[in-house]
Structure 1
Amino acid sequence: MEESFEALDVLIVGAVPLEVKPLEGWLRAPKPLLTPWTTLWAGRWGRLRVGLACLGIGKVNAAAGSAVLIERCRPAMVWVVGSAGAYSKGPLSVGDVLVSTSILLGDEGVWERAGMGSMKALGFAVGHERGRPVFERFDLSEDWALKWAATLTPAGWYTLGTSSTKIPTVHPWAEDMPKAAAVREPKREIFQVAFGPSVTVGMSSGDAWIAEERFTRYGAWAEDMEGSAVVQVCRRYGVPVVQCRGISNRAGERDKSLWCMDKALAHSHAVLGTWLDGMKTAA
């Protein structure tokens, strides 16, 4: 028998349990609801109805899982949370948080000896935005949801803190603080929240050369494996979507002993905590 689903104020999705499971403790009376694709954990944050779900790795899992959940719980907003690999020539470091202003489709198109081309080279659009065909990039910069997020966590430097509700949040640091100052502040973790482009790929960059080629081709600051799929589904359903990812590693770095997944997720979760606090205040 199909579970009974309540409409959500916000649906938070990630690829693997580590990206969403820690948030379950934030909710009051979280309840597991089974769907054909995944389990949705639905609970309350103040008066807000919040859902958490792990969709699986990759674009197929992300797209199918998002569609199943949107059909059932009709969220007012979707947040994509997780980790990403930053390109070394971009502005991000490990531990920083990237909120995507646009998401590029890194696999769709044509790959020729001369290089990679978008779907425009094939003459097919993957979708439409505001009446215009989308060949390679979903632009989120004018979405009210992104602008709302930017009012709560403007681009700049932050430290971890806690709110009056005892969940992790971010606290602003000096706006003009140089990145090197983080080294001089050993007792306090300092990182930046940045708003910029990301690219979704089916195969992560396996070495520095591939990572540099992708950075040159797309101009994105970081790569992930699910974002564009969730955004494309949300666009089709007319649901506002924001992607927030912590930088766990340099793209192309395969030595996982150099990755900082815990730091990346702690920082991205704290950004979400600040957004939830903002929603609760406005509710």
Structure 2
Amino acid sequence: MAHRSLIVTAVAAEADSVSAGLGPHLGGPALLPLPGGLVLRRHTAGTDAGPVRVDVLVGGVGPASVAAATGTALTSAALTDPDAPYGLVVSAGIAGGFLPLAPLGSVVVSASVVAADLGARTPDGYLTVEELGFGRSVHPVPDALTGRISAVLTAGGLPHAVAPVLTVSTVTGTAGRAAELAGRHPGAGAEAMEGFGVAEAAAAHGLPVVEIRAVSNAVGPRDRAAWRIGDALESLRHTFELLSSTVLVEPS
């Protein structure tokens, strides 16, 4: 049976870095259309563990858009190729990092995927959807999975942290907002906009999920001159080059 992983990014520049990292071990991608105008970049190779397919999908910005795109890809695979199911779903891209845990250019591997602003503000403070009595706001990631990824990145000399990754619908742009999020989510490593949407879609299909983010800027006041998007995209490429010969080609 073929082993397959689905990697979902928000935008094409992130997908380009992921595909560039996969290329040396898994070859260049074939482009496969999906319903709704989506396109999979499929990397295919034979390995000692058997045939491998790693698909890369540009899912769009924000949790709703990326959840719909991820769900489309997973449902399409289940209907058209049931003998080669996905074994892992990865939300990947660049992100803001919480200093000092996640400096610019480093990578954050999600210990959990957290919908950081899914809840309610009350006179007594913020309430999560769990506290309100409906829904969930956290997808824990198995320690065995994060441990495998961390070991590969350590061996490859890539600075990284294993920590919660927050999903927000509005990117943080002030010190006050950064402090609020850090206070509500102690130990958070990064902030992005898509991980929880990918995790919800993966959970609906009973699949493990992890979020991997390369840090392009610090969470806090917006300072475009300090952003290092190119460095973060290179860290993302390096990450998936390392994983393409290890975690992504090993059955989960």
Q: Shared fold by TM > 0.5?
A: yes
Task: Give matches, 1:10-49, under 5 Å.
Answer: 10-25=5-20, 26=23, 27-28=26-27, 30-37=29-36, 38-46=38-46, 47-49=51-53
Which residue of structure 2 aligns with residue 278 of structure 1? 246
Per-residue CA deviations over 1:160-212 (Å, capped at 9, x if unaligned) read: xxxxxxxxxx723xxxxxxxxxxxxxxxxxx6211111111000112111111
How many Å apart are 1:244 and its aligned residue?
A: 0.9
**What secondary structure does 1:254 align onto?**
coil
1:125 to 2:135 alignment: yes
Aligned to 1:228: 196
Q: CA RMSD in A?
A: 2.3
Q: Percent identity?
A: 27
Whether 1:101 and 2:96 are equivalent positions in the alignment is no
Contact 1:207–1:252 under 8 Å retained in 2: yes
Deviation at 1:117, TM superposition (A): 1.1
1:41 partner amino acid: R
Q: How many residues align?
A: 234
Cα separation, 1, equivalents of 2:124 and 2:107: 34
Which amino acid letter does the alignment assign opposite residue 50 of structure 1? Answer: V
Q: How far, CA to CA, are the matches of 2:129 and 2:56 in structure 1?
A: 33
2-structure distance, mates of 1:67, 1:281: 22
Residue 80 of structure 2 corresponds to residue 112 of structure 1: no
Identify which range, 19-28 or 226-235, moves more after superposition: 19-28
Provide structure 1 residue ranges, at least 5 long, that are not aligned to the other structure: 1-5, 127-135, 155-169, 173-190
Which SS does the other structure have where 2:87 is aligned?
A: coil
Matches within 5 A, 1:53-132: 53-73=57-77, 74-88=85-99, 90-126=100-136
Q: TM-score, normalised by structure 1?
A: 0.75
Structure (1/2) with the larger helix percentage: 2
**Distance of aligned partners of 1:68 and 1:115 in 2 relative to their CA distance in 1, 3 Å threshold:** same
Choose which of 211, 218, 226 in structure 1 pairs with 2:178: 211
Q: Secondary structure at the match of 2:54?
A: strand
Larger-Rg structure? 1
| Separation in structure 2 between the aligned mates of residue 7 and residue 19 of structure 1, nearest angstrom | 25
User: In 2, Cα distance between the equivalents of 1:274 and 1:29?
Assistant: 16
CA contact (8 A) 1:110 1:121 kept: no
Secondary structure, aligned partner of 1:153: helix
2:246 maps to 1:251? no
In 2, Cα distance between equivalents of 1:99 and 1:236 = 22
Deviations 1:75-112 (A, max 9, x none): 22112210111123x41111110000012211211112
Provide, for residues 221-273 of structure 1, a one-character-per-residue CA deviation record: whole Å limited to 9, x for no partner.
22110111111221221112221101110112322221111111211221221
Letter in 1 for 2:131: A
Runs (5+) with no aligned partner, structure 2: 78-84
TM-score by length of 2: 0.84
- Is 1:146 aligned with 2:131? no
Query: How far 1:22 sits from its partner (Å)?
Result: 3.3
